[in-house]
Structure 1
Amino acid sequence: MATCIGLRTLAVMGAWGFAMGITVVQAQPSEQWEGVVKDLERLERTLQEQSVEKERDIERLHRQVQEKEREIESQKANIAGIAAESGDNRQTLAVLRNELACTQTVKLFWDSRADMLEQLLGQQRATLSELGEVIPTLRQLRERDNP
């Protein structure tokens, strides 16, 4: 998460630097322009790849959450069935209730993990959007300095 925030901050600072006037970068040799553009393009590709991975992870976690929800419902039905039976089933019910609590905890963990990944994905998409604005400007400046 810190990496995404750091990259976003870097992108915002870069955009702010362009808005304020690129006097420092303009003074650099043209070879460095090429390096700056390539680094930002590489960063953009990396963020896009990470975004795809996060989307897959989110989908996987949502499937796991759905599986746990089905398992929870099944466990609740088992508990209700055993509770309805006659006889001394207190120990069996206690074990089943503990299993249900564990399953619900795992489901909550996966659900919160999916939420966290969705937030990170949103931050990466915002950074990609900002890079999408900065990179073309850098390319234009590079072309202007390298006729």
Structure 2
Amino acid sequence: VYKLGISKNVRFMGTQLGEDLVNFHRAASVFVSASPTETQGIVFLEAAACGKPVIGVDVGAVKEICQDGVNGFLCETDNVEQIAESISKILDGKKLAADFSKNGLEIIKKHDLNFTISKFEEIYNFVIEKKKQEPRNWFEKLSRKLKK
């Protein structure tokens, strides 16, 4: 950061939790995580929930939340130039940043606990209904065939 002369624009704040984390996200223009080991994408959900465009690398489940061209940019791992270009595009494009922010809020709705539970309920109910329709043994299966 110092070698590049961007120390006025970049800060490394260490671990932040709770309301402090929310305040940092609110103060930021964009959220960037280039970590190849952050594969679950929780940090992207947190940033998107605060209305921030996101930039991440294409690892694990990150692409489910950081959707390239939708709510931010998905970059190649270790491609510093691509990450820097993505940051510049967001900082220079107010409409792009606003669109990414809006789209990010829509994406996180799919990760809401109530939404997830209702989807699981739908799946379980579907499986239960299908299972009820299947014969439990060969005799039931044969009986159904004979009744046709």
TM-score (norm 2): 0.33
Rg comparison, structure with higher value: 1
Which has the larger share of strand? 2
TM-score (norm 1): 0.33
Which has the larger share of helix? 1
